[in-house]
Amino acid sequence: ETGVTQSPTHLIKTRGQQVTLRCSSQSGHNTVSWYQQALGQGPQFIFQYYREEENGRGNFPPRFSGLQFPNYSSELNVNALELDDSALYLCASSSRGQGADTGELFFGEGSRLTVL
Amino acid sequence: RKEVEQDPGPFNVPEGATVAFNCTYSNSASQSFFWYRQDCRKEPKLLMSVYSSGNEDGRFTAQLNRASQYISLLIRDSKLSDSATYLCVVSLTGGGNKLTFGTGTQLKVEL
């Protein structure tokens, strides 16, 4: 186990609704990244948080937003859900300042979102 | 054109076979390269980094060709437990772990 926990594990929403996904990073890690993985695709980078600020964003619209808390845990919020938002949302933690580009991200098991 | 391209497979191979996966990337500024493994309905996990000189970890060998922007992974003596999806991953220098994943190549090792 990576020590990264995500909740909820599964959820079903309808178009137009809003969703909040939560992530607790591995102990000692100060950086949290969120990825979206659609069925049959690789994970796609949504954004990263470091020291409670967004530190880079992928090609996702503003209705995808996030937060990082002082304890390094994080939330991903998606507003105005669309059918194409159905995917596995993966949270990954890492530690900047300690071989920041080692490439090793520690992923949680993900939150599987279905939008009807 | 996708930033990282892989043959999605599936590759069905008998136990003990040698199998090779290839990957190409489009951004010539990419500086760090990795292979991740993802089991069915599980999270991705780092398999190995890929270095310019090539590197080996047991039955796994990774190669990088920067001129051709090409990465490979060779698995020797395949085991049933190697069945998974193998994700080719690149990162820009200073990317701070912002990774770009390929779609993955599915491997099924059979008796």
Q: Which among B33, B43, B89 has CB closest to A109?
A: B43
List Cβ neighbours of B53 (8 Å cut-off, separation of 6 or more): none
Give pLDDT tens digits for B28-62: 988 889 999 999 989 999 999 998 889 999 999 99
Among A22-26, B51-55, B77-81, the minimum mean pLDDT is found in B51-55
**In this predicted structure, what is the pLDDT of residue A103?**
66
Average pLDDT of chain B, as a whole number? 93
Give residue A32's pLDDT band: very low, low, confident or very high (50, 70, 90): very high
Give the Cβ contact number of residue B76 at 10 Å.
14
Is residue A102 scored above 80 in pLDDT? Answer: no
Instruction: Report the distance separating Cα A54 and Cα B43, nearest Å.
Output: 23
Which residues are A31's β-sheet partners?
A: A50, A94
Average pLDDT on A110-116 reads: 98
Chain A: nearest CA to B41, how far in angstroms? 8
Write down the pLDDT at residue A105: 86
Phi/psi for A8 (5° steps) reads -75, 170
| Least confident residue range of A3-12, A53-62, A94-103, B100-109 | A94-103
Chain B residue numbers touching A108 (CB-CB < 8 A): 43
Q: For all residues of chain A together, what is the average pLDDT?
A: 92
Q: Quickly state the pLDDT bin for B11 (edges 50, 70, 90).
A: very high
Chain A residues with CB-CB distance to B under 8 A? 2, 31, 33, 35, 40-45, 48, 50, 55-56, 58, 90, 92, 94, 96, 100-105, 107-110
Q: Mark yes or no for CB contact B46/A104 under 8 Å.
A: yes
Q: Please indicate whether residue B95 or residue B66 has the higher confidence score (pLDDT).
A: B66
Query: Which pLDDT does position A99 carry in this prediction?
Result: 47
Q: Do the beta carbons of residue A79 and residue A107 sit within 8 Å?
A: no
In the numeric block, which tokens belong to residue A106? Answer: 């520690």
Q: Is pLDDT larger for residue A24 or for residue A29?
A: A24
Distance between CA atoms of residues A73 and A67, nearest Å: 8
Q: Provide the pLDDT confidence category of residue B2 given band limits of 50, 70 and 90.
A: confident
Percentage of chain B modeled with pLDDT above 70: 95
b vs e for A22-43, b when ≥16 Cβ sit within 10 Å of the residue's Cβ? bbbbbeebbbbbbbbbeeebbb
Sign of CA dihedral A24, A25, A31, A32: negative
pLDDT at residue A27, as a whole number: 85
